[in-house]
Amino acid sequence: METLLICYASRDGQAAKIAGRIAARRIGGVVQCCDLSRRQPAAAELAGAGAVVVIAAVRYGRHLPEAEHFLQREAAMLKRKPLAIASVNLSARKPGRHGAEGNAYLRRWLARHALQPALATAFAGRLDYPRYRWFDRLMIRLIMAMSGGPTDPAAVVEYTDWAAVDAFADALGRLGERAGDAQRPRM
């Protein structure tokens, strides 16, 4: 079975948790995880992957810089691979904000890197006011007030739809299988 390389960028742990859930779901398959804040994948690791998934959290309107760096650095290689992209943000907690049409972060992300991945989605992340520094807490409360979300400074809400994450993981499995079929010589 093809190796799935999961590259993720996370600050508060939710994108990492999503990456872990996808890795665990891939029963019997080979999975390599790469925390982009610690290291960028080696060229051989990337070349050997049957499919690549990039998962990155949004902070103040931008995906985390290590994910941006990875996509810029490996643009050429990633265009030759089955690729899947997942943006993690709080905008996606609302209905209709999972696809590129409804989620501006995801749409702009794909456009910025001229990506045409086989799968692209936005997952709702986690709101955790007690964890945030005072300035971030203030800013997120303002954003939540404007978008109809919780503003209680004690609020902790995990919005992630785990069934959607599992469905994404299953679709990834099928992607890897198709890529493997295409690479196998026909008899």
Ligand X SMILES: Cc1cc2nc3c(=O)[nH]c(=O)nc-3n(C[C@H](O)[C@H](O)[C@H](O)COP(=O)(O)O)c2cc1C
For ligand X, the binding residues (CB under 6 A) are 10-16, 57-61, 88-91, 125-126, 132, 136, 140
Quickly count: other Cβ atoms within 10 Å of residue 180's Cβ: 14
Q: Which is nearer to ligand X, 63 or 113 (CB)?
A: 63
Q: Which residues on neighbouring strands pair with residue 73, listed in sequence order?
A: none
Q: Which is nearer to ligand X, 82 or 125 (CB)?
A: 125
Strands (E), 60-107: 62-63, 83-89
Q: How far is the CB of 28 from ligand X (least distance, A)?
A: 27
Q: Which is nearer to ligand X, 15 or 175 (CB)?
A: 15
Closest CA to 176 of 29, 15, 25, 24: 29
Write the CA distances from 150 to 15, 146, 162, integer angstroms. 21, 10, 21
Q: Which is nearer to ligand X, 53 or 179 (CB)?
A: 53
Which residue is closest to ligand X by CB? 125
Q: Which is nearer to ligand X, 13 or 48 (CB)?
A: 13
- Evaluated on CA atoms 133, 90, 143, 37, the torsion sign reads positive
Rounded to a whole number of angstroms, the distance between the first and last alpha carbons of the chain is 19
Q: How far is the CB of 105 from ligand X (least distance, A)?
A: 7
Quickly count: other Cβ atoms within 10 Å of residue 74's Cβ: 20
Q: How far is the CB of 23 from ligand X (least distance, A)?
A: 15
Residue 3, phi then psi, degrees to nearest 5: -80, 135
**8 A C-beta contact, residue 9 and residue 63:** yes
Q: How far is the CB of 57 from ligand X (least distance, A)?
A: 3
Q: Which two tokens stand for residue 150?
A: 């919780």
Q: How far is the CB of 142 from ligand X (least distance, A)?
A: 11
Q: How far is the CB of 68 from ligand X (least distance, A)?
A: 14
Q: Which is nearer to ligand X, 28 or 96 (CB)?
A: 96
